[in-house]
Structure 1
């Protein structure tokens, strides 16, 4: 097992229906490593009521736990299909504020590089997606959040092979800086 301190964490983030899970899986295969699925997707698929404040906290903790579980299996890179920044963004939107423990952890749990998925893909309906009409709004929010964290990130655009090739090129460039 590799020393986890040397593992680079690459976060795949962005608004709904931008191909984050697809890109995460493709990058993990390309770099022969593991990827951390979006904990909230599994969590929310089991909810029978609208998401609550406690659900947001549970998703925050679950995402971190899942990431920590998979970190030791990573091969130099850990590809993260979203991060708990999503909890902050959704909480801000749905409840007008984010949980304190999320705000506390954000600057203390950095990712090495972010790929912000562009909204240039067609919307794909999914029972766990809510805001097809707010994609531009949430894209702006993602830019703002990443800037506030002083995060190193690039926007990844294009469809299908172009998108994954653009993502690989961005990661390669980051790794060789």
Structure 2
């Protein structure tokens, strides 16, 4: 008998807004798996920040890892970022996005059963080679909310400390 397809939960937000912390906490709470942000691994392995030509690879690897994890998930699959987030960063850092990245983001955003956005209301912490700073995070957050509105994607904005965020999502689920 085939297991039920897990509900796929997108967790989006600017750097240092608590996406990974929330993803891991939700996976523990619901005894399932989560998909870490591939960008972190990319930066660590490559020893550099991504370039424009890396964006599609980063987003498609993130998506492929979601597909692999879906088979191990129980009821929920928590996804620490999505190709749409990569698209937004591509627009910010490189002035646009290439056609394959835009197509990937457009074709898969509807696959998420729920989109969570982490508020930028926790202390910002530098993240190794990642180049973002608090001012950039504010801009990225605005771009994300504008993009979700333009695509008519409903979302739940989660805020507060990690426990408050977890409780907000639990009440919603």
* Cα distance change of structure 1 residues 50 and 13 upon mapping to structure 2, 3 Å threshold: closer
Task: Report the count of equivalent residues.
Answer: 169
Q: What are the residue-to-residue correspondences of 1:133-144 with 2, within 5 Å?
A: 133-144=135-146
Offset, 1:8: 1.2
| Deviation, structure 1 residue 169 | 1.9
Q: For 2:48 and 2:141, how far apart are their aligned partners in 1?
A: 27
Compared CA separation, residues 3 and 164, structure 1 to 2 (3 A): closer
What SS does structure 2 have at the residue aligned with 1:32? coil
Distance 1:118 1:67, change over 3 A: same
Structural mapping, 1:29-108, within 5 Å: 29-108=28-107
Q: Which residue of 1 aligns with 2:122?
A: 121
Q: 1:120 to 1:9 in 2, by over 3 A?
A: same
SS of 2:157 mapped into structure 1: strand
Whole-angstrom distance in 2 between the partners of 1:167 and 1:129: 29
Gap regions ≥5 residues in structure 2: none
Q: 1:46 aligns to what SS in structure 2?
A: helix
Q: Partner of 2:22 in structure 1?
A: 23
Offset at residue 9 of structure 1 (A): 0.7
User: Partner residue of 1:8?
Assistant: 7
* TM-score normalised by structure 1 residue count: 0.88
Tell me the distance in 1 between the aligned counterparts of 2:48 and 2:11: 28
Deviation at 1:57, TM superposition (A): 1.6
Mapped to 2, the partners of 1:67 and 1:140 lie a distance apart of 26
In the alignment, is the contact (CA less than 8 A) between 2:12 and 2:19 conserved in 1? yes
Which segments of structure 1 move beyond 3 Å, counting only runs of 4 or more? none
Aligned-pair distance for 1:129? 4.4
Q: Residues 12-46 of structure 1: CA distance to partner in whole angstroms, max 9, x if unpaired?
A: 11011011001001111111211111011101112
Deviation readout 1:92-122 (Å, 9 max, x if unpaired): 0111111211211223212111110001001
TM-score, normalising length: structure 2: 0.90
Q: Structure 1: how far apart are the matches of 2:8 and 2:40?
A: 20
